[in-house]
Structure formats: structure tokens, C-alpha cells
């Protein structure tokens, strides 16, 4: 293979900035939540770019988009590069988008240089990685590998009661292809680190060897709505207070299990959400993660008992729903080595790293050999409109992705 070929970073950067114009946020980032009009628009633009790069498209029943660049032997399953174009409600320009558009830039570079690969190369945009509008996260990639049921996904409702399959049809991306039918040889995903390690240590490339497991438990508390002025303190059944106590205890649990556990409550609903009514109902989701499987199981049991004890102490009823459940994962050793070798070849500095976030690669890896590359991000900030990367980080990490994919495709 050609030695140390490079992508065109100026072209890639302007492509990233063009994509960021769709679904602008309010503070320089993006709000392009899955299956919204903006998601539809982003898909159209991406499709146009891929068509111009001579890629063939297939779309599955969950709306995941697969673009194929033919190889020399098209009987062989392709080497796949993917990530997601959907964002958080106050998301950045790079989370997910970098990985998808890096794939496109690699194809453009191979086309420019007229490089033929033995295996075909495929680019994927997975539907609903973020899980903010429809839970769980990593939705379509999990459907693809069969760890989450496709019918369950199609019938999932968002907070407004809108149904996944209807929203998908509304934006016109309800494909015909049966989910999971694409063959894949191996899968690579480039992602921003979303944490501070690489930037702080001045390292070019994170070689992701493991991914944290994660659980989302949705808790519903039922107390009694009553007047805040007239109800004596000792008879209140305050679902808001119980939620606050549970959140504090979950935080204590995480702090007492450092560095092996993180936990937060990011989604809360309070009913009726009126200043002078004691909350009669709350719904909130506890997100907790660890790279140690046993730790996750122990903590889940502890959280369930915290919820039950505090609720019972306050005579509030509770239910707990399991909305996401991903075990810690170890990425494929061969794929990880392709990435390490690629970083070496370009003389980039690199270090092994564990992914704190969930990624489509984590879902894919349960069935198909996969690995991930991380590039630094400024101050480790992500899931925030202020998310930023330097242009040279996009360059180095996309070159590594290209080299790893090319080696795997020969």
C-alpha cells in the first residue's frame, strides 16, 4: 500500500462545517435529534455527498444508511467505517459526525488517488445513537446485531408519545432492507474522546481497547399532589423530595467507588411542575457506568435497594424500568492492532484508552470484530454545544482510520 498517504483536511473540515449548518443549536453547536426534520435533512445532504463519491446506498428498516465502495473481490464482506449524524439537544458538531464524515473523506481520498482495495469499503450512518429522544442509545446498531428487538425499537415512543416507526416514515428514511442483513468483515469507528486525557497528555491518538458498560434505570415515583401551604410536613408524600434524596445517594455511591463507577441523573420530570403543588409524580433516569462487569451488577442491586428504602420511608410508591443495558466490552485484538500500527506508521503519539461513552462500535463488537480510534477534544467537553476539536486532530485521526481500514481491506 502507498506509504503515508493523507486525507484532504481542508475538504473534510468544510464538509464538517457544512453539516453543522443543519440543525444549529443556540450556542454554536447542534440540535439534530434523531428522526427530526433536521435529521432528515442531514441524511439527504450526506446521501448527496456519497452519491457524488460513487457510493451505492442501502437503507434498512431502522433507517441506518449503508454506502458501499466496490472492491476488487466483491464476494468478500466489506470493511466498515461508521458512526452517527444525530446529536443531543444541546450537542456539538463532532460527536458522531466526525466518524461518519471521516469515512466519506477516506472514500474521496481513495477515489482521488485511484486506490483499489481487495475488500469493498462501507460507510454507515446508524440511526439514533444518542438515545436522547428515543431510549435506549445505540438503538439501530443494537438492532443490527440483534441485542435489541427490531419490533420493540419500531414501536418505541418519545416523551411526546410519538412512535419511532411513524417518525422515521415521516422523514422518508424507512428503508426496505431487513435489519442485520449487511455482511461486515470488521468495523472501525473514529470518535472524539469526550474526555480530557488525550489533550492533557498531548497524545495524538487514543487506541480504544475497552468500552464501559452502562445501565439506564428509569424510576417512577408516585406520591400525592397536595397544597404546599396547607399540608403539614409530616403527612406529605413528596415525590420530588424522594427523587432528590435518591439522586444524592446515587452520587454518594459513585464517589465511594472511584475510579470504577460514574453515575448521574440527567433526565427528570416533575408533575404537575407547579410552584404551589407538592410533586405527586416524578420520573427520572439513573445513568451509571463501569468498565467492570461485576461492579455494574453490584451497583444495580444497591441502587434498586436505595430507591425502595427511600420511597418506603416516605410512603411513596415506586417502579423501576430497565431502559438500557450494555455490558462492558473488549474490542477485537486484530482491529485494535490495525489502529496501533497505523498510528506508528504515521509517527503519531498514541496510548491505549477505555471509552467512557457508549458507541455504536460497542454494540457492533458483540457480533463483528470492531475497534475505535479517539482524537482529543478541547477541555474534554462534549454533550455540550461548546464541544470543539482542532483541525489537526481531525487530520491525524482520520489518517489513522484510513490506514487501519486499508490494511484490513487488503
At its nearest, how many Å lie between Mn ion and the CB of residue 50?
A: 20
**Contact set for Mn ion, span 75-104 (CB under 5 A):** 95-96
306 binding partner (options Mn ion, ligand GLV, none; Cβ < 5 to 8 Å by kind) = none
245 or 383, CB closer to Mn ion?
A: 383
295 or 314, CB closer to ligand GLV?
A: 295
**Contact set for ligand GLV, span 327-386 (CB under 6 A):** 357-358
At its nearest, how many Å lie between Mn ion and the CB of residue 89?
A: 11
385 binds Mn ion (CB under 5 A): no
137 binding partner (options Mn ion, ligand GLV, none; Cβ < 5 to 8 Å by kind) = ligand GLV
**Contact set for ligand GLV, span 102-131 (CB under 6 A):** 130
82 binds ligand GLV (CB under 6 A): no
At its nearest, how many Å lie between ligand GLV and the CB of residue 153?
A: 16
39 or 95, CB closer to Mn ion?
A: 95
95 or 388, CB closer to Mn ion?
A: 95
287 binds Mn ion (CB under 5 A): no
Instruction: Please identify the residue of the shown chain whose CB is closest to the bound ligand GLV.
Output: 357
SS3 track for the chain: CCCCCCCCHHHHHHHHHHHHCCCECCCCCECCCCCCHHHHHHHHHHHHHHHHCCCEEEEECCCCEEEEECCCCCCCCCEEEEECCCCCCCECCCCCHHHHHHHHHHHHHHHHHCCCCCCCEEEEECCCCCCCCCCCCCHHHHHHHCCCCHHHHHCCECCCCCEHHHHHHHCCCCCCECCCCCCCCEEEEEEECCCCHHHHHCCCEEEEEEECEEEEEEEEEECCCEECCCCCHHHCCCHHHHHHHHHHHHHHHHHCCCCCCEEEEEEEEEECCCCCEECCEEEEEEEEEECCHHHHHHHHHHHHHHHHHHHHHCCCEEEEEEEEEECCEECCHHHHHHHHHHHHHCCCCEEEEEECCCCHHHHHCCCCCEEEEEECCHHHCCCCCCCCCCHHHHHHHHHHHHHHHHHHHC
139 or 405, CB closer to ligand GLV?
A: 139
**Contact set for Mn ion, span 161-190 (CB under 5 A):** none
Residues that bind Mn ion (CB under 5 A): 95-96
Residues that bind ligand GLV (CB under 6 A): 130, 137, 357-358
Amino acid at each position: 500500500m502507498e506509504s503515508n498517504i493523507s486525507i484532504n483536511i481542508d475538504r473534510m473540515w468544510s464538509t464538517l462545517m457544512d453539516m453543522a449548518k443543519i440543525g444549529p443549536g443556540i450556542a454554536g453547536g447542534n440540535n439534530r435529534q434523531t428522526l427530526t426534520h433536521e435529521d432528515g435533512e442531514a441524511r439527504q445532504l450526506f446521501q448527496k455527498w456519497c452519491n457524488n463519491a460513487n457510493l451505492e446506498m442501502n437503507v434498512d428498516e431502522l433507517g441506518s444508511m449503508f454506502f458501499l465502495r466496490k472492491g476488487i473481490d466483491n464476494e468478500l464482506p466489506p470493511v466498515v467505517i461508521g458512526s452517527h449524524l444525530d446529536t443531543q439537544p444541546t450537542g456539538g458538531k463532532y460527536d458522531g459526525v466526525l466518524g461518519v464524515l471521516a469515512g466519506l473523506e477516506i472514500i474521496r481520498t481513495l477515489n482521488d488517488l485511484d486506490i483499489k482495495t481487495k475488500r469493498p469499503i462501507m460507510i454507515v450512518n446508524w440511526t439514533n445513537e444518542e438515545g436522547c429522544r428515543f431510549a435506549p442509545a445505540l438503538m439501530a446498531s443494537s438492532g443490527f446485531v440483534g441485542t435489541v428487538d427490531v419490533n420493540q425499537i419500531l414501536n418505541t415512543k418519545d416523551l411526546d408519545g410519538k412512535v419511532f416507526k411513524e417518525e422515521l416514515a415521516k422523514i422518508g428514511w424507512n428503508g426496505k432492507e431487513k435489519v442485520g442483513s449487511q455482511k461486515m468483515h470488521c468495523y472501525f469507528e473514529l470518535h472524539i474522546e469526550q474526555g480530557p486525557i488525550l489533550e492533557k497528555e498531548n497524545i495524538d491518538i487514543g487506541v480504544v481497547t475497552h468500552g464501559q458498560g452502562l445501565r439506564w434505570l428509569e424510576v417512577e415515583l408516585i406520591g400525592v399532589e397536595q397544597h404546599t401551604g396547607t399540608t403539614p410536613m409530616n403527612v406529605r408524600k413528596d415525590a420530588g423530595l424522594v427523587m432528590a434524596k435518591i439522586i444524592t445517594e446515587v452520587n454518594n455511591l459513585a464517589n465511594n467507588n472511584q475510579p470504577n463507577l460514574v453515575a448521574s441523573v440527567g433526565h427528570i420530570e416533575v408533575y404537575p411542575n407547579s410552584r404551589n403543588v407538592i410533586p405527586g409524580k416524578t420520573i427520572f433516569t439513573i445513568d451509571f457506568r463501569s468498565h467492570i462487569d461485576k461492579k455494574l451488577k453490584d451497583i444495580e442491586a444497591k441502587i434498586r435497594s436505595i430507591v425502595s428504602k427511600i420511597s418506603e420511608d416516605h410512603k411513596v410508591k415506586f417502579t423501576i424500568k430497565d431502559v438500557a443495558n450494555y455490558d462492558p466490552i473488549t474490542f477485537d485484538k486484530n482491529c485494535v492492532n490495525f489502529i496501533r500500527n497505523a498510528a506508528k506508521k504515521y509517527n503519531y503519539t498514541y496510548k491505549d484508552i477505555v471509552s467512557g461513552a457508549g458507541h455504536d462500535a460497542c454494540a457492533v463488537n458483540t457480533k463483528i470484530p470492531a475497534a475505535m480510534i479517539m482524537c482529543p477534544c478541547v477541555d474534554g467537553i462534549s454533550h455540550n454545544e461548546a464541544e470543539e476539536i482542532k483541525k489537526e486532530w481531525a487530520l491525524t485521526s482520520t489518517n489513522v482510520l484510513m490506514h487501519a481500514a486499508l490494511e484490513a481491506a487488503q
